[in-house]
A and B are shown apart, each in its own frame.
Chain A
Amino acid sequence: MPKLAYRDALKQALVDAMREDPDIFIIGEEVGRYGGAYGVTKGLIEEFGAERLVDTPISEPAIIGTAVGAAMAGMRPVAELMYVDFIGMTMDQLCNQAAKIRYMFGGQIGVPMVLRTQGGTGRSAGAQHSQSLEAYVMHTPGLRLAMPGTVYDAYHLLRQALLQPDPVVFIEHKSLYAMTEEVDLSVPPPAWGKAVVRREGRDMVIVTYSRQVHHVMQAAETLSQAGIEVTVIDLRTLNPLDFETIRAEVEKVGRAMVVSEGAMTAGVAAELAARITEECFDYLEDPVVRVAGEDIPISVSVELEKNSVPGPALIEDTVRRMVA
């Protein structure tokens, strides 16, 4: 099987979708001539031209707003926000416009756009370029949210996002771009909105997504050698949220933990833990535990950055103590 990088799977998804649907175009900073800050759109301008790879000035609110208008006018824009950290600047266009247009206007029109961006730690990029802000998006009714953790999902979730009738925020992880996997993209993907159980075990269910899937899988491997078996659920999309898969696994195992890179307080892990507690209470032997990012900004220092977010050691240690 061919080896493919996460970055190239994303590019392939864009290429395949753009060949099929002439209404798809990409708009953002450095997406065309430069090929994307992380190289995802490199070379695309040669095949699709500047009309479909629209390089913009550094004007984030207008980039997202333009995508909203183009989507309402019948096209399918992929707006790129170079770093999810800049989402704050675009919050009005994203949360007050894109997210609410279908609803406010009584269902007359939708906003079928994809906002592609990337987040997370791993490059000493500092406090304004390393955040995990998916909770902002997940908190806003009207937005879909996909966060691929694997090369296969990078491809298929992006293809599926480009078929959705409503705005999708698609958050990649900067530390995964160079990651390669042997993948067969021709294997049909799970339906949009479905989680995947990456590993099954009797002792603990760990619910996670994006890069933390790898930290959790690594911890699960080590734990397995010590006789502790965990179920790992990769959510793939946070909206739609596949709670049925979570429920089924938690009911089988009776213990759950949520792992997320975002800051712990009022984050994605908090929402998931609350929901598991509410809905699976009768099956739980222990409180649902959150392992998440510290409630602090991310430092540029290599050591502090690494220790600000969950890693395999913390995950493994927490499981051991819960299962003991």
Chain B
Amino acid sequence: MNREARVAHSRKSNSDLLAHYTQMQRVRTFEDRVGELYLRGGSAGSMLHLSIGEESAAVGVSAAMRAGDTFTTHHRGHGIFLARGADPNRMMAEIGGKETGYCRGKGGSMHIADMSLGHLGANAIVGGGIPAVVGAAMVAKRRKTGAVSIAFFGDGAMQQGILYESMNMAALWDLPAVFVCINNQWGMGTRIDQATKATRLHERAKVFGLNAETVDGLDVLDVAEAAARIVDGARTGTPGFLAVDCYRFFGHGRKDKSPYRSPEEEAEGRAKDPVLYARQMLRDSGMPLTELDAIDAEISAEMDATIDFTMQSAEPANDTMFRDVFAPDQPEPEPVRTRLDRVLARE
């Protein structure tokens, strides 16, 4: 839908749009603060992959999900998790490797998870989180929970064999599974057309028998509509695939300055800004600038607080290192030092 038509749309879609805008702005501001945490020396390492430019994928697909649905993400998954209701403080603390983080400082940016929100885990192996949704969907189907399980991944994972094994099984068994490819055009320094000839990504899913679409990520309402079709289809037994076209605004990780792509291309890519686009639509529909600014300011304060929370949080205690290798009632692995104490005491 073009912007004019959208503006003329119902009040319902307008209130949806405001909710989506707010979520997208939260994602963007959070990612911005992740960058700041790094600059302030508060992040655990520099392997931080920001989802700026991809907010409509996270928010639009999330809008089609329900409580009880499960999902996995790739390494660029902060936005998806926030859209699913994550506490930004605990997220940021995890990115800082602190004990107050979602995974007690063990996982970090690339391994955030929260079972209570259905987040079966972010993954640092490209494609690594995809097949788990087949398993989760299989269980949802057997137990008739009505839940859908969704794998989020980048265009890079389209070249991993495991995706095809997973889609094939999901289709074969009519599972409530959805595969969402956030196509930001780049995988590190490789542009999608340098990784494949078959750039019409959803065509690949179709041949396995999935409902499959590609949607432009500029307008979050378009993404939400397409996601609703695909996710609803999965809920009634036909697995789906959705590619969301967008652009990775910045480098692959915090340290990458993207020397492999031209400033012109970047300018063009960043012009497709789903957050600004939604903001403009809200303006066009008569929302006063002051109201939008007030929302932004509130989000800004919320996300500023995540940095303070993280900087004030403690490192995990050393003995927690041995916890959670196995279940809590199982003996922990013996520390090397303890073993050495025993061996050396024998002398």
Contact (A294, B321) CB under 8 Å given A58-B126, A126-B47: yes
| Contact assessment for A304 and B106 in the assembled complex, using a CB-CB cutoff below 8 Å | yes
Q: How far is the CA of A287 from the CA of B106 in the complex (A)?
A: 34
| Contact assessment for A125 and B190 in the assembled complex, using a CB-CB cutoff below 8 Å | no
| Contact assessment for A128 and B321 in the assembled complex, using a CB-CB cutoff below 8 Å | no
| Contact assessment for A33 and B105 in the assembled complex, using a CB-CB cutoff below 8 Å | no
**How many residues of chain B are within 8 Å of chain A by beta carbon?**
52
Interface residues of A in 120-152 (CB under 8 A from B): 123-129
Stretch binding the partner chain, chosen from B4-12, B53-61, B221-229, B330-338: B330-338
Contact (A30, B189) CB under 8 Å given A299-B316, A301-B316, A318-B340: yes
Q: Return the contact of B344 from the options A33, A58, A322 (Cβ within 8 A).
A: A322
Least CB distance, A176 to chain B, in whole angstroms: 17
Q: How far is the CA of A321 from the CA of B345 in the complex (A)?
A: 9
| Contact assessment for A58 and B335 in the assembled complex, using a CB-CB cutoff below 8 Å | no
Query: Inside 8 A of B335's CB, which chain A residues have their CB?
Result: 294
Least CB distance, A296 to chain B, in whole angstroms: 5
| Contact assessment for B315 and A302 in the assembled complex, using a CB-CB cutoff below 8 Å | yes
Q: How far is the CA of A29 from the CA of B159 in the complex (A)?
A: 12
Residue B233 at the A interface, CB < 8 A? no
Q: How far is the CA of A300 from the CA of B106 in the complex (A)?
A: 5
Residue A71 at the B interface, CB < 8 A? no
As a 0/1 sequence over residues 284 to 324 of chain A, the CB contacts with chain B under 8 angstroms (1 = contact) are: 00110101111111011111100110100010001001100
Query: Inside 8 A of A296's CB, which chain B residues have their CB?
Result: 321-322, 325, 333
Residue B119 at the A interface, CB < 8 A? no
Q: How far is the CA of A128 from the CA of B107 in the complex (A)?
A: 10
In this complex, the member of A127, A264, A322 whose beta carbon has the largest number of chain B beta carbons within 10 angstroms is A127
Q: How far is the CA of A302 from the CA of B344 in the complex (A)?
A: 29
Q: Return the contact of A123 from the options B46, B315, B318, B321 (Cβ within 8 A).
A: B46
Q: How far is the CA of A130 from the CA of B225 in the complex (A)?
A: 40
| Contact assessment for A304 and B111 in the assembled complex, using a CB-CB cutoff below 8 Å | no
Q: How far is the CA of A287 from the CA of B44 in the complex (A)?
A: 38
Interface residues of B in 163-194 (CB under 8 A from A): 187-190, 194
Q: How far is the CA of A264 from the CA of B90 in the complex (A)?
A: 33
| Contact assessment for A304 and B340 in the assembled complex, using a CB-CB cutoff below 8 Å | no
Residue A283 at the B interface, CB < 8 A? no
In this complex, the member of A86, A125, A322 whose beta carbon has the largest number of chain B beta carbons within 10 angstroms is A125
Query: Inside 8 A of B105's CB, which chain A residues have their CB?
Result: 299-301, 304
With CB as the reference atom, state the residue of chain A lying closest to B316: A301
| Contact assessment for B188 and A301 in the assembled complex, using a CB-CB cutoff below 8 Å | no
Interface residues of A in 95-109 (CB under 8 A from B): none
Query: Inside 8 A of A321's CB, which chain B residues have their CB?
Result: 340, 344
Least CB distance, B78 to chain A, in whole angstroms: 14
| Contact assessment for A291 and B336 in the assembled complex, using a CB-CB cutoff below 8 Å | yes
Least CB distance, B105 to chain A, in whole angstroms: 4
**How many residues of chain A are within 8 Å of chain B by beta carbon?**
45
Q: How far is the CA of A307 from the CA of B317 in the complex (A)?
A: 11
Interface residues of B in 133-162 (CB under 8 A from A): 156-157, 159-161
Query: Inside 8 A of B128's CB, which chain A residues have their CB?
Result: 128
| Contact assessment for A124 and B108 in the assembled complex, using a CB-CB cutoff below 8 Å | yes
Contact (A33, B45) CB under 8 Å given A57-B159, A301-B316, A321-B344: no
Query: Inside 8 A of A196's CB, which chain B residues have their CB?
Result: none
Query: Inside 8 A of A80's CB, which chain B residues have their CB?
Result: none
Contact (A318, B344) CB under 8 Å given A292-B336, A299-B316, A300-B107: yes
Least CB distance, A213 to chain B, in whole angstroms: 19
| Contact assessment for A127 and B106 in the assembled complex, using a CB-CB cutoff below 8 Å | yes
Residue A69 at the B interface, CB < 8 A? no
| Contact assessment for B47 and A123 in the assembled complex, using a CB-CB cutoff below 8 Å | yes
With CB as the reference atom, state the residue of chain B lying closest to A122: B45
Residue B67 at the A interface, CB < 8 A? no
Q: How far is the CA of A61 from the CA of B194 in the complex (A)?
A: 19
Residue B127 at the A interface, CB < 8 A? yes
| Contact assessment for B336 and A294 in the assembled complex, using a CB-CB cutoff below 8 Å | yes
| Contact assessment for B347 and A301 in the assembled complex, using a CB-CB cutoff below 8 Å | no
| Contact assessment for B47 and A125 in the assembled complex, using a CB-CB cutoff below 8 Å | yes
Contact (A126, B110) CB under 8 Å given A58-B156, A301-B44: yes
| Contact assessment for A58 and B195 in the assembled complex, using a CB-CB cutoff below 8 Å | yes
Q: How far is the CA of A19 from the CA of B237 in the complex (A)?
A: 58
| Contact assessment for A34 and B188 in the assembled complex, using a CB-CB cutoff below 8 Å | yes
Residue B84 at the A interface, CB < 8 A? no
Residue B236 at the A interface, CB < 8 A? no
Listed in ascending order, the chain B residues whose CB lies under 8 Å from chain A are: 43-47, 94, 97-98, 105-111, 123-128, 156-157, 159-161, 187-190, 194-196, 260, 315-316, 318, 320-322, 325, 333-337, 339-340, 343-344, 346-347
- Which 8 A-B pairs rank lowest in CB-CB distance, beginning with the nearest? A124-B45, A300-B108, A57-B159, A34-B189, A301-B97, A301-B105, A295-B333, A124-B44
CB pairs A–B below 8 angstroms (8 shown): A125-B47, A125-B124, A126-B45, A126-B111, A294-B336, A302-B97, A302-B315, A303-B316
